[in-house]
Structure 1
Amino acid sequence: MKESVNKAAPVTPMLFPFEPEQFWSTIRQIIREEITSINKNLPANPSYETPGLTYKPLYKIAEVCQLLQVSKPTIYDWIKNGQLKPYKIRSRVYFLWQDINHLLNPSI
């Protein structure tokens, strides 16, 4: 006959001296502070002005992606669907400010 041995579950040691709710509260506060410091370092509005011009007339695809906060495949889809027209100058592709402005403010 085998005797059943009643083993209690082992106690897991605490690795840090905080209660779980206090720990998560501290983590949330650290995250808030980090996000606040990151937001303070961001420029208010990116400037795409060219000295001597009231606006920059032509934009490269990387500038359009950054300005509209989209990826290159999205730009290619817009070109394919006729929402954005590319202009080729020599071997480079540019986009007109008026077309970009129309995407930003479709009511204009």
Structure 2
Amino acid sequence: MKENVSNGNPVTPMLFPYQPEQFWQLLRQVIREEVTKAENEKPNVSSFETPGMTYKPLYKITEICTIFHITKPTVYDWVKHGKLKPFKVRSRVFFLWQDIQQLLHGNSS
């Protein structure tokens, strides 16, 4: 069997009709287009906003954890030390927007 050699390097036959450089160029172009399309379709709405409301008055503990990049035990500690006041609605616990804003801007007592 005769081996194809180019510049001393063996040439592997391609199973699809593109040269490697052309293939990678096309692949980069497709990726660029998809990323641009995804960025343009991305909504500019925060995941914590509620449609139809100017602000969301109550936040769940998981939302607090996401906003501050903390764990639930840290939230429980903040409640224990009076940084956050929990409000129970039926069996669920929420936190007020104003309290979150005070913590974000450093106006807590």
- When the two structures are superposed, what TM-score results if normalisation uses the length of structure 1? 0.57
| 1:48 lines up with 2:50 in the alignment | yes
Is 1:82 aligned to residue 78 of structure 2? Answer: yes
Counterparts of residues 27-66 of structure 1 (less than 5 Å): 27-46=27-46, 47-48=49-50, 51=53, 54-61=54-61, 64=63
Supply the distance in 1 between the matched residues of 2:19 and 2:68 (Cα, whole angstroms).
Answer: 41
Aligned residues: 94
Tell me which residue corresponds to 1:68. Answer: 67
Distance 1:25 1:11 in 2: 20
Superposed CA RMSD: 3.6
- Distance between the aligned counterparts of 2:43 and 2:97, measured in 1? 21
Task: State the shift of 1:76 in Å.
Answer: 1.0
Extract unaligned runs of 5+ from structure 1: 1-6
**1:48-77 CA distance string (max 9 Å, x none):** 3654xx532112345x27x7396xxx4414
Q: 1 CA distance for matches of 2:18 and 2:68?
A: 41
Partner of 2:92: 92
State TM-score, norm by structure 2.
0.57
State the one-letter code of the partner of 2:57: P
1:21-49 Cα deviation digits (max 9, x unpaired):
22122111111111111122221123436
> How many angstroms does 1:14 deviate by?
0.4
Distance 1:24 1:58 in 2: 49
Structure 1 match to 2:18? 18
Q: Does the residue aligned with 2:32 lie in a helix, a strand or coil?
A: helix
8 A contact 2:61–2:93 mirrored in 1: yes
Aligned to 2:7: none
